[in-house]
Amino acid sequence: MDTVDVVALGESMVTFLPSRPGRLADVPSFERGIGGAESNVACVLAAAGHSARWVGRVGADGFGDHLVEAIGAYGVDVASVRRDPARRTGIYFRTAGDRATDAHEVAYYRAGSAASAMTVENVDLDAARSGRVLHLSGITAALSGGCLDLLRELTAPRAGRPLVSFDVNHRPGLWRDTDGPRVLLELARGADIVFVGDDEARQAWGLHGARAIREALPEPEIVVVKQGRGGATALDKDTDGLCEDATGTATFVPALNVDVVAAVGAGDAFAAGFLSAALRGLPVRDRLRHGHLMAAAALTVPGDLAAPPARDHADRLAALDDAGWGTLRLGPGWTEADARAEEEVRTP
């Protein structure tokens, strides 16, 4: 199987976006879209010019058809997605409000889904290991015992293992018992790159601050702690003993000023931006800045997925000095502004 830049393994679902704000009980109609932490990362990376493959399972139904076709339309290789004739594709509905507020509602219909039946035996492991990077998340581990065994297999040390990227994605409502935090810590310690929000680290592990999180995760090469509107901190591994403490060098990049349309999909977009810059060999500061830029693209559209900025546009913004970065403000349509400006120059 051809090697690609990134393989993302996990559940993707059909999502129904409301036609107007309000309670689910009051919304008269919904627009169909796609959603899934891992497939979102694959779609953003493919749209940004990387080769990406999604590995998962969907039902042999119309929603499964839609997912495979829609994700494939982003340029993602979906040839390794398997169909389950006995189980349905997961779907969910959500309100238009910010998910951080009490008014936000999400209704999942994913129990017993085709993806929840993924196991070591029925997933193409060669395809899963065919990327330079394998991106996983804690959501998959919560779906079933078979899914957890699959993630343990993929994060286990072995010769020739791809670089493993793991987004903790702590979702308490998905876990059937109280083992979720312990399992997520175990899986994160088996990864090479870890993404975790400081809020979920407090909730799951009782940890406060980037240094404390890094101390609890000594094995990964880099731990990225997302601090919401504040920014993000990446902590390298101290491999030569030259750092002042065992948690390695910390690099902090403040978040951008963004006119938010919908606060969904930003975490997945951030991970995609960081991984894109890592695949290109950019320094840690620029990886964080590209993460923020991809997150800003997601925050300024209503759905989970947004067209990323052109690579040269993102590179120019990421290269700004600290003062320029601090005054940058991005709103709806900003990813297309560079292309529009070039068109205006060409137009007599």
The catalytic residues are 268
Task: Give the span between the Cα atoms of 58 and 89, in whole angstroms.
Answer: 5
Q: How far apart are the first and last CA of the chain?
A: 49
317 contacts: CB under 8 Å, gap ≥ 6: 289, 293, 309, 325, 328
Q: Encoding tokens for residue 341? A: 């400006």
* CA dist list (Å): 320 to 260, 271, 323, 325, 333: 22, 21, 8, 6, 20
The DSSP annotation for 222-269 comes to EEEEE-TTSEEEEEE--SSS-SSSTT--EEEEEPPEE--S--SSHHHH
* DSSP state for residue 114 in the 8-state scheme: T
141 conformational bin, left if phi > 0, alpha if psi -120 to 50, beta if neither: alpha
234 conformational bin, left if phi > 0, alpha if psi -120 to 50, beta if neither: beta
Residue that the structure tokens 């999180």 belong to: 213
* Single-letter code of the amino acid located at 224: V
- Burial string for 234-268 (b: 16+ CB within 10 Å, else e) reads bbbbbeeeeeeeebbebbebbbbebeebbbbbbbb
Helix axes 284-299, 311-318, angle to 10 degrees: 120
